[in-house]
Amino acid sequence: MSYIGNTATQQAFTPAVDFFNGNGSTTAFTLSRPVASVAQVQAVISNVPQKPGDAFTVSGNTITFTSAPPSGTQNIYVYYTSPITQVIAPGQGTVGTAQIQEGAVITADIANGAVTTAKLSSTTGTGAVALASLPSFTTTIGVGGATASASGSGVSFPATQSASGDANTLDDYEEGIWTPVLTTTGTAPSGLGYIFRSGRYTKIGNRVIAAFGIKLNALSSGGSGEITITGLPFTSFSFGPWQENVFAVKGNSFTNATTITNGLIGYVASSATQVYFRTGNADLAIAASELTSNTGIGAVIVYEVA
């Protein structure tokens, strides 16, 4: 006839008796078949029935007596009172979330190595692996498809920004170096020699903090036009008049001494990687003719990128 569930299994009970020889010291003996509890066997020593649970216990194929039985030949026997219970495994695909009691499966129930990376979702979110309410990481994690750094701990962003439209989402971070290029808007200066020329930057979201320092030790010609620095690591965003990112500048050794006394400021051009300079009190450009073989310029620039 038809039925629902696992294939019906018939079980038959075959009587059996196990005999053992006592030696006055051994307490554990191996049974011929496994049992689930002391209720499935009766133990007798020297023809005296033993009380289950008090005089003996069972575990699988082992019966253990509280006291070692005395010496004798087959003076211990155990007879079975019920059949071995068959464990029926659920059919494949028959156990779902609804069949597992909440909290029934804990870490101790999962064998080491039983759950592999292939069994986990590759992302977090709806239907993916649920993290603790306050997750903690001891290594670096990668976002936006970035490969996590093998050293330290933190968040690794992809080399090419994966921009987010959410104003509250940090979608980029980068640290690096850049090379500032001293030039002019007209004829470029020539014969430039440097004591040092370096730059470093940190990009956090759409803000760049770029520091640089230049110190000359040689100059053949200052060129023409106004002094400028090119080579910023990222292109600035497009903005209108009087919206420039302005910053203070440290400078020395210009031909016009008032350039220093009046103070120097700089700003980043719109949609560019270029910096221009002005005198602080008169908003005048710094002419190429003011360059000397000892001119030095340095600043920390904070600007917005596209």
User: What is the predicted pLDDT for the residue at 193?
Assistant: 95
Does 144 share its domain with 236?
A: no
The model's confidence at residue 76, banded by pLDDT at 50, 70 and 90, is very high
In the chain, which ranges are continuous DSSP H helix?
A: 258-261
pLDDT at 61: 92
The HSE-up count of residue 53 (CA atoms within 13 Å, CB side) is 3
Q: Outline where DSSP puts E strands in 105-172.
A: 141-142, 155-156
Banded model confidence at residue 236, pLDDT cuts 50, 70, 90: very high
Query: 219 and 151: one domain?
Result: no
- Express each pLDDT in 108-156 by its tens digit: 888 887 777 666 655 555 455 555 566 777 788 888 888 888 888 888 8
Residues 6+ apart with CB under 8 A from 50: 42, 43, 44, 56, 65
Cβ(275)–Cβ(249) under 8 Å?
no
pLDDT for the residue 91: 73
Residue 24 inside a domain? The answer is: yes
pLDDT bucket at 95, cuts 50 / 70 / 90: confident
Residues 149, 61 share a domain: no
pLDDT digits (tens, 9 = 90+) for 168-226: 888 899 999 999 999 999 999 999 999 999 999 999 999 999 999 999 999 999 999 99
Q: For the segment 52-74, what is each residue's pLDDT rounded down to a tens digit? A: 999 999 998 999 999 999 999 99
Distance CA 75, CA 63 (A): 15
Q: Does residue 271 sit in the same domain as residue 189?
A: yes
Q: Quick one: which of 265, 254, 269, 253 has its CA closest to 299?
A: 265
pLDDT digits (tens, 9 = 90+) for 81-94: 876 655 566 777 77
Identify whether residues 213 and 276 lie together within a single domain: yes
For residues 275-290, give the mean pLDDT.
Answer: 86
Q: What is the distance between the alpha carbons of residues 82 and 12, in angstroms, rounded to a whole number?
A: 10
Percent over 90 (pLDDT), the chain: 51
Question: Helix (H) and strand (E) counts for the chain?
Answer: 1, 17
If one compares 148 and 303, the residue with the highest pLDDT of the two is 303
For residues 238 and 235, give the distance between their C-alpha atoms in angstroms, rounded to a whole number. 9
CA-CA distance, 167 to 88, in Å (whole number)?
56
Model pLDDT, residue 57: 95
Does 59 share its domain with 140? no
26 inside domain: yes
pLDDT at 273: 95
Q: Is residue 206 part of a domain?
A: yes
| Residue range of the domain that includes 257 | 178-304
**Residue 116 lies inside a defined structural domain of this protein:** no
Question: How many separate domains does the chain show?
Answer: 3
Q: What band does 162 get if pLDDT is binned at 50, 70 and 90?
A: confident
Say if residue 254 is in the same domain as residue 182.
yes
Q: Are residues 58 and 150 in the same domain?
A: no
Q: How far apart are CA 29 and CA 273, in angstroms?
A: 86
Rounded distance between C-alpha atoms, residue 33 and residue 36, angstroms = 10
Residues 148 and 188 occupy one common structural domain: no
Indicate whether 204 belongs to any domain: yes
On the question of pLDDT at 1 being above 80, the answer is no
Domain contains 9? no
Residue 74 located in a structural domain: yes
Q: What is the pTM of this model?
A: 0.56
Q: Tell me the C-alpha distance between 305 and 238, whole Å.
A: 8
Domain boundary, last residue among 125, 160, 195: 160
**CA-wise closest residue to 181 among 202, 206, 144, 212:** 212
- Residues 244, 294: Cα–Cα separation, whole Å: 29
Average pLDDT over residues 295-301: 94
Q: Residue 289 — very low, low, confident or very high, per pLDDT cuts 50/70/90?
A: very high
Amino acid occupying residue 296: G
- Residues 154 and 190 reside in one and the same domain: no
Are 228 and 276 within 8 A, CB to CB?
yes
pLDDT value at residue 132: 57
Which of the residue ranges 97-111, 200-214, 290-304 would you say has the lowest mean pLDDT?
Answer: 97-111
Q: Is residue 101 part of a domain?
A: no
Tokens of 164: 């987010």
pLDDT of 281 over the 80 cut: no
Are residues 186 and 153 located together in one domain of the fold? no
What 8-state DSSP symbol labels residue 205?
T
72 & 149 share domain: no
